[in-house]
């Protein structure tokens, strides 16, 4: 269709007068016309001038209309070129033959000008529709190719992040569909410096890209923290907080996370929204289930997040199973659901626990038949083994064992020009929470540091007396004076000495704060009880409760607090 609305029409008729009449009718409509006198000529003209609509006389010498129609339709291929037969035949048989040969319609002789015009218009519309349809189809094909390509790239990126873990360790068996990330399923596993194995199986709500997006931050947080030795609860809280802040409301992650200790032979489990996990006892063949007792990840604020876990003792050979709801919700042709009872029967029937994993998959497959394409099946088995069986493979895989901040000493001294502008507490706290084990105590640590620092600065360096704080006016005067003296200060310092040690089951942090002041008589100070009246004097009793020990050194210009933490808290 070269010009808007103008068609090129091919007319083939061996009767000169008929052809001329038709030509003039079509031309009067504003279309351009090419004419042929028989079928062969029509086919040649079709090739050379590519008309939009073809009008063919049914009976012509050399090649009749039916033969020409077939060839023209073949040449047109995908393109819709309407072929209309011109005929004086009226018997049903002949008309049917015309349409069967590839004709789209017919016009009876003698011609009716109005019908011809109407039909050309109708076919023009159909042609336009066809062109639109094809263009859209091509676009869809292109978009789909694009999408698949994007998914492949996304999957590669995800694989690089997610599969840096220890899923190939000797005691792990898992099933995860190749494009699981786009079903919202995620499985990550890592070995902590302590030698325990942490595994998380997650199932994001929804499908496709929205479900896949959350898997990235989840995997990076998981691997970053597990390698450094953060505890299960720290990792959980971090992931929950991150997902809560980035995911839109309504998108969240049902997950089960476990920490498997091969030395103590026990497993710590937190289940938020995944189906019951099974612990299979090798000796008795019994199953213990761990029910979901928490909200999924990404739903509650950190403050409301509940992190209590279940501990289970495991013997060598015991197996722990986790799955996404794809297993129990697998459907067969009739739309029935696989269900938990069938799953339990697989365990009951089993007589060789090494086969359990495969038997479960087989049973689900044979139930759902062709309908099941593994798309939504995620299944994981963890076996309790001797520590060396896991660690040998894990070291080989990760290539390095990162331990995070374990044993270290930090000395930090602040001078007057800094007091005025800079609050050292966030900086020190940031360092402390990089220590696995200390992170979950950041609230207490902040309070301890804040108390010790303000005592050293206000009483030691600035020489302020807390007696002022006995009255509301004095309280205000105290802080006004603090600012004033800080502005005038030319000499003095506050020093921090932080030293951290780890033990088998935890660690201890020594905090020594010193100042340039003259000290004070501290003999009675430490015995102050918690008080309920007055506006000051609560700091020291507070620290004494939070810390294992607190003591003043020498003249009282140095104070030392020891904060202890344990793994099992």
The reply on whether position 335 binds other proteins by CB under 8 A is no
Q: Which of 70, 81, 82 has its CA nearest to residue 39?
A: 70
Shortest spacing between CB 305 and other proteins, in angstroms? 10
Which lies closer to other proteins via its Cβ, residue 232 or residue 382?
232
Give DSSP secondary structure letters for 384-431. Answer: ---HHHHHHHHHHHHS-----S-SEEEEEEE-HHHHHH--HHHHHHHH
Which lies closer to other proteins via its Cβ, residue 387 or residue 443?
443
In three-state form (DSSP H/G/I as H, E/B as E, the rest C), the secondary structure along 47-98 is: HHHCCCEEEEECCCCCCCHHHHHHHHHHHHCCCCCCEEEEECCCCHHHHHHH
Q: Which residues, listed in sequence order, are joined to residue 414 by a DSSP beta bridge?
A: 494
Which lies closer to other proteins via its Cβ, residue 21 or residue 542?
542
Selected from 300, 454, 564, 567, the binder of other proteins by CB under 8 A is 454
Which lies closer to other proteins via its Cβ, residue 44 or residue 302?
302
Selected from 32, 447, 495, 516, the binder of other proteins by CB under 8 A is 447
Shortest spacing between CB 549 and other proteins, in angstroms? 16
Shortest spacing between CB 153 and other proteins, in angstroms? 39
Shortest spacing between CB 528 and other proteins, in angstroms? 12
- How many Cβ atoms from other residues are within 10 Å of residue 177's Cβ? 16
Shortest spacing between CB 451 and other proteins, in angstroms? 6
The reply on whether position 446 binds other proteins by CB under 8 A is yes
x/- mask, other proteins, residues 359-398, rule CB under 8 A, reads ----------------------------------------
- How many Cβ atoms from other residues are within 10 Å of residue 59's Cβ? 17
d(CA 340, CA 353): 19
Shortest spacing between CB 290 and other proteins, in angstroms? 24
Selected from 49, 112, 442, 566, the binder of other proteins by CB under 8 A is 442
The reply on whether position 468 binds other proteins by CB under 8 A is no
Q: Is 441 helix (H, G, I), strand (E, B) or coil?
A: helix
Selected from 90, 472, 488, 491, the binder of other proteins by CB under 8 A is 472
Task: Pick the piece of the chain touching other proteins (CB under 8 A) from 92-100, 107-115, 226-234, 448-456.
Answer: 448-456
Which lies closer to other proteins via its Cβ, residue 303 or residue 400?
303
Selected from 216, 450, 486, 562, the binder of other proteins by CB under 8 A is 450
Give yes or no for a contact between 197 and 262, defined as CB atoms under 8 angstroms apart: yes
Number of residues engaging other proteins in binding (CB under 8 A): 27
Give yes or no for a contact between 268 and 307, defined as CB atoms under 8 angstroms apart: no
Give yes or no for a contact between 509 and 500, defined as CB atoms under 8 angstroms apart: yes
- How many Cβ atoms from other residues are within 10 Å of residue 473's Cβ? 9
Selected from 451, 493, 507, 563, the binder of other proteins by CB under 8 A is 451
Give yes or no for a contact between 260 and 310, defined as CB atoms under 8 angstroms apart: no
- How many Cβ atoms from other residues are within 10 Å of residue 375's Cβ? 14
Shortest spacing between CB 486 and other proteins, in angstroms? 11
Shortest spacing between CB 237 and other proteins, in angstroms? 11
Which lies closer to other proteins via its Cβ, residue 72 or residue 511?
511
- H or E stretch covering 361: helix 356-368
Shortest spacing between CB 202 and other proteins, in angstroms? 25
Which lies closer to other proteins via its Cβ, residue 127 or residue 294?
294
Contacts 24+ apart (CB under 8 A), 313-317: 313/265, 313/266, 314/260, 314/265, 314/266, 314/267, 314/279, 314/384, 315/265, 315/281, 315/282, 315/283, 315/384, 316/265, 316/282, 316/384, 316/385, 316/386, 317/282, 317/283, 317/353, 317/383, 317/384
How many degrees, rounded to 5, is the angle at CA 409 between CA 407 and CA 414?
150
Instruction: Looking at residues 301 to 330 of the shown chain, list those that interact with other proteins (rule: CB under 8 A).
Output: 302-303
The reply on whether position 479 binds other proteins by CB under 8 A is yes
Instruction: Looking at residues 66 to 105 of the shown chain, list those that interact with other proteins (rule: CB under 8 A).
Output: none
Instruction: Looking at residues 244 to 303 of the shown chain, list those that interact with other proteins (rule: CB under 8 A).
Output: 302-303
Q: Token pair for residue 408?
A: 């270290």
Shortest spacing between CB 565 and other proteins, in angstroms? 14
Q: Token pair for residue 468?
A: 């002022």
Selected from 111, 174, 475, 520, the binder of other proteins by CB under 8 A is 475
x/- mask, other proteins, residues 510-549, rule CB under 8 A, reads --------------------x-x-xxx-xx-xx--xx---
Shortest spacing between CB 441 and other proteins, in angstroms? 9
Cβ within 8 Å of residue 273, ≥6 positions away:
203, 252, 253, 254, 255, 292, 294, 295, 296
Which lies closer to other proteins via its Cβ, residue 182 or residue 453?
453
Shortest spacing between CB 313 and other proteins, in angstroms? 29
Shortest spacing between CB 203 and other proteins, in angstroms? 28
d(CA 493, CA 262): 49
Which lies closer to other proteins via its Cβ, residue 387 or residue 426?
426
- What are the CA-CA distances from residue 21 to residues 8, 11, 18 (Å)? 17, 11, 5
Which lies closer to other proteins via its Cβ, residue 193 or residue 474?
474
Q: Are strands 172-176 and 378-383 parallel, antiparallel or unpaired?
A: antiparallel
- Which parts of this chain interact with other proteins (CB under 8 A)? 302-303, 442-444, 446-447, 450-451, 454, 469, 472, 475-476, 479, 482, 530, 532, 534-536, 538-539, 541-542, 545-546
């Amino acid at each position: 269709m070269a010009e808007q609305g103008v068609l090129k029409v091919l007319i083939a008729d061996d009767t000169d007068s008929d052809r001329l009449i038709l030509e003039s009718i079509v031309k009067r409509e504003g279309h351009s016309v090419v004419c042929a006198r028989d079928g062969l000529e029509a086919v040649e003209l079709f090739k050379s001038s590519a008309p939009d609509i073809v009008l063919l006389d049914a009976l012509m010498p050399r090649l009749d209309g039916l033969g020409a129609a077939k060839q023209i339709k073949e040449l047109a291929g995908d393109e819709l070129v309407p072929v209309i037969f011109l005929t004086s035949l009226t018997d049903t048989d002949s008309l049917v033959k015309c349409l069967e040969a590839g004709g789209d319609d017919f016009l009876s002789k003698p011609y009716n000008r109005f019908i011809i015009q109407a039909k050309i218009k109708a076919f023009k519309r159909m042609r336009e529709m066809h062109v639109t349809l094809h263009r859209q189809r091509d676009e869809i094909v292109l978009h789909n190719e694009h999408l698949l390509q994007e998914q492949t790239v996304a999957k590669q990126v995800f694989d690089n992040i997610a599969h840096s873990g220890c899923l190939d360790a000797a005691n792990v068996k898992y099933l995860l569909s190749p494009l699981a990330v786009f079903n919202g399923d995620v499985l990550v596993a890592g070995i902590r410096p302590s030698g325990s194995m942490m595994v998380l199986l997650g199932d994001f709500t929804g499908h496709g890209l929205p479900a896949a997006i959350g898997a990235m931050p989840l995997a990076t947080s998981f691997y970053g923290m597990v390698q450094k030795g953060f505890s299960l609860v720290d990792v959980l809280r971090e992931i929950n907080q991150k997902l809560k802040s980035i995911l839109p409301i309504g998108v969240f992650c049902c997950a089960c996370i476990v920490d498997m200790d091969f030395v103590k032979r026990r497993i710590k489990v937190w289940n938020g929204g995944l189906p019951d996990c099974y612990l299979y006892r090798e000796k008795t063949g019994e199953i213990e289930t761990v029910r979901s007792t928490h909200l999924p990840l990404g739903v509650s604020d950190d403050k409301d997040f509940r992190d209590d876990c279940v501990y289970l003792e495991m013997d060598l050979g015991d197996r722990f199973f986790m799955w996404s709801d794809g297993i129990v919700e697998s459907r067969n042709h009739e739309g029935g659901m696989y269900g938990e009872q069938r799953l339990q029967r697989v365990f009951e029937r089993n007589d060789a626990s090494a086969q359990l994993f495969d038997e479960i998959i087989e049973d689900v497959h044979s139930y759902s038949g062709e309908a099941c394409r593994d798309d939504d099946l995620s299944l994981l088995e963890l076996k309790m083994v001797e520590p060396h069986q896991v660690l040998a493979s894990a070291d080989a895989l990760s290539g390095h064992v990162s331990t995070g901040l374990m044993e270290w000493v930090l000395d930090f001294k602040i001078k007057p020009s800094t007091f005025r502008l800079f609050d050292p507490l966030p900086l020190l706290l940031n360092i402390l929470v990089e220590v696995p084990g200390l992170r979950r105590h950041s609230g207490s640590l902040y309070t301890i540091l804040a108390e010790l620092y303000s005592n050293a600065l206000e009483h030691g360096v600035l020489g302020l007396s807390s007696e002022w704080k006995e009255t509301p006016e004095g309280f205000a005067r105290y802080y006004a004076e603090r600012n004033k003296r800080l502005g005038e200060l030319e000499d003095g310092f506050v020093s921090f000495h932080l030293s951290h040690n780890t033990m088998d089951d935890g660690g201890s942090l020594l905090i020594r704060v010193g100042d340039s002041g003259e000290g004070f008589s501290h003999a009675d100070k430490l015995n102050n009880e918690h008080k309920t009246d007055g506006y000051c004097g609560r700091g020291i009793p507070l620290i004494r409760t939070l810390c294992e020990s607190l003591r003043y050194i020498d003249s009282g210009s140095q104070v030392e607090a020891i904060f202890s933490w344990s793994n099992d808290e």
